[in-house]
């Protein structure tokens, strides 16, 4: 997108984030849900098709352009940024191995907002990789799927589930499969999850599948390509996106902390004059800047190579840990008043805890980083032994 058009779009996003979104946030906190009218408003603004290519009906921003806007979006209510983030990323997984018919049926329909698709990988008793336990077997032109999925974002209202399973008796990633499972599939039970600590308007679901029939035309890619679709198609770029959401939310917390430090007076002096507060703010700003630069570094590599497993996990790991540190100090600067509901920093503190788990915990990121870095041969050195 040309710079003038991009600047106009940035101003549109900024106006929405700081003028319209606060009104929506109050309703979301009161009702505990983001109703269809909120989704429709975000669609009408064009915010749910920013990153998709024009050939799919999207606006066609490059990855870094999109991330710069995502930093802004992340300064609004966490459930709103979640809608923006997921809908601007799941098309990649759908398109990665889609046939021409599937592009029209699933990819263009998702970008247009005609269908809502939920990414469906996590299970109650398994991680998010080769240990998935949901299984399927093929009989004729039908797969029969059994297992459980949970913590599925937008799973309570989704029209389709991009669901990952493994062929019965297979091991590793060779037997994994990606299926588009319609909500009305026979013997599929969708149970809403209990309300979460934060992201109060984001619904999650627990899916129970018992020999659910799925037509072979709903398989994306070939048998054995399931985890490739999950990781290269969605998780890697999404982890970079999550890292940028941490930057945006931390920036908002910092801005609020600075404003509060100017307003709050103790012992006749504003907090901003206290050396310890100034040190905290300096540490917070340094943390935020470091996370932003690491995220952009990962984004550039992914945008160039469409493969950056170590860098995406580094960005997500550092960004989520940074966000916890920044929001802790921001709440401390606000004092006891920031602990009560109705305070923006109280909501930010709650919402910030979600990024610790989105797209994998810190422990998962470290495993991914180590695997990516240590799988390559060590460089030769003068002291290397044969």
Alpha-carbon torsion 340, 21, 297, 122, what sign? positive
Q: Compute the distance between CA of residue 252 and CA of residue 74 in angstroms, rounded to an integer.
A: 8
Residue 293 Cα distances to 67, 200, 249, angstroms: 12, 30, 15
- Helix ranges (H only) for the chain are 3-15, 21-31, 36-44, 63-73, 78-87, 90-96, 100-102, 108-112, 226-230, 236-263, 275-305, 309-334, 344-352, 362-374
Host H or E run for residue 143: strand 142-153
The token duo for 265 is 């007076």
Residues facing residue 219 across a β-bridge: 179
**Can you tell me the distance from the alpha carbon of 38 to that of 259, in angstroms, rounded to the nearest whole number?**
29
CB-based contacts of 336, cutoff 8 Å, min separation 6: none
Write out the two tokens for 58.
């999207």
Give the Å distances, CA to CA, from 111 to 41, 60, 177, 235, 373. Answer: 15, 11, 23, 18, 35
Catalytic residue among 123, 225, 236, 359: 359
Beta bridge partners of 153: 204
Q: CA 47, CA 31: separation in Å to the nearest integer? A: 23
Region of 40 on the Ramachandran plot (φ > 0 left; ψ -120 to 50 alpha; else beta): alpha
> How big is the CA angle at 177 (ends 208 and 183), to the nearest 5 degrees?
40
Whole-number Å distance between alpha carbons of 66 and 70: 6
Six token digits for residue 376: 């390559």
CB 362 within 8 A of CB 317: yes
Q: Is 311 a catalytic residue?
A: no
How far apart, in whole angstroms, are the C-alpha atoms of residue 24 and residue 5? 27
Write out the catalytic residue numbers.
359
């Amino acid at each position: 997108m040309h710079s003038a058009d991009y600047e106009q779009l940035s101003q549109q996003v900024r106006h929405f984030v700081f003028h319209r979104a606060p009104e929506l946030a109050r309703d979301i906190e009161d009702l505990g849900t983001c109703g269809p009218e909120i989704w429709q408003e975000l669609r009408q603004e064009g915010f749910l098709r920013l990153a998709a290519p024009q050939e799919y009906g999207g606006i066609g921003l490059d990855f870094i352009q999109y991330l710069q806007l995502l930093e802004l979006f992340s300064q609004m209510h966490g459930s709103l940024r979640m809608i923006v983030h997921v809908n601007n990323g799941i098309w990649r997984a759908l398109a990665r191995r889609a046939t021409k018919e599937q592009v029209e049926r699933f990819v263009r329909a998702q970008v247009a907002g005609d269908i809502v698709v939920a990414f469906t990988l996590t299970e109650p008793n398994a991680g998010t990789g080769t240990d998935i336990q949901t299984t399927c077997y093929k009989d004729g032109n039908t797969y029969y799927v059994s297992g459980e999925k949970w913590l599925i974002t937008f799973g309570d209202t989704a029209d389709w589930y991009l669901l990952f399973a493994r062929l019965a008796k297979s091991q590793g990633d060779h037997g994994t499969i990606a299926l588009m499972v319609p909500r009305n599939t026979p013997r599929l039970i969708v149970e809403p999850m209990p309300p979460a600590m934060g992201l109060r308007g984001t619904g999650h679901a627990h899916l129970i599948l018992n020999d659910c029939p799925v037509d072979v035309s709903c398989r994306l890619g070939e048998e054995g390509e399931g985890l490739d679709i999950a990781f290269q198609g969605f998780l890697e770029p999404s982890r970079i996106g999550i890292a940028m959401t941490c930057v945006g939310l931390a920036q908002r917390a910092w801005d609020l902390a600075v404003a509060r430090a100017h307003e709050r007076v103790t012992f006749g002096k504003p907090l901003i004059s206290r050396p310890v507060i100034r040190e905290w703010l300096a540490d917070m700003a340094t943390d935020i800047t470091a996370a932003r630069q690491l995220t952009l570094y990962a984004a550039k590599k992914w945008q160039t190579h469409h493969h950056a497993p170590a860098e995406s996990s580094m960005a997500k790991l550092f960004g989520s840990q940074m966000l916890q540190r920044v929001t802790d100090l921001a709440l401390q600067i606000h004092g006891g008043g920031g602990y009560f509901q109705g305070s923006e920093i109280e909501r930010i503190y709650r919402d910030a805890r979600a990024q610790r788990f989105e797209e994998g915990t810190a422990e998962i990121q470290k495993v991914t980083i180590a695997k990516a870095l240590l799988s390559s041969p060590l460089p030769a050195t003068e002291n290397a032994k044969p």
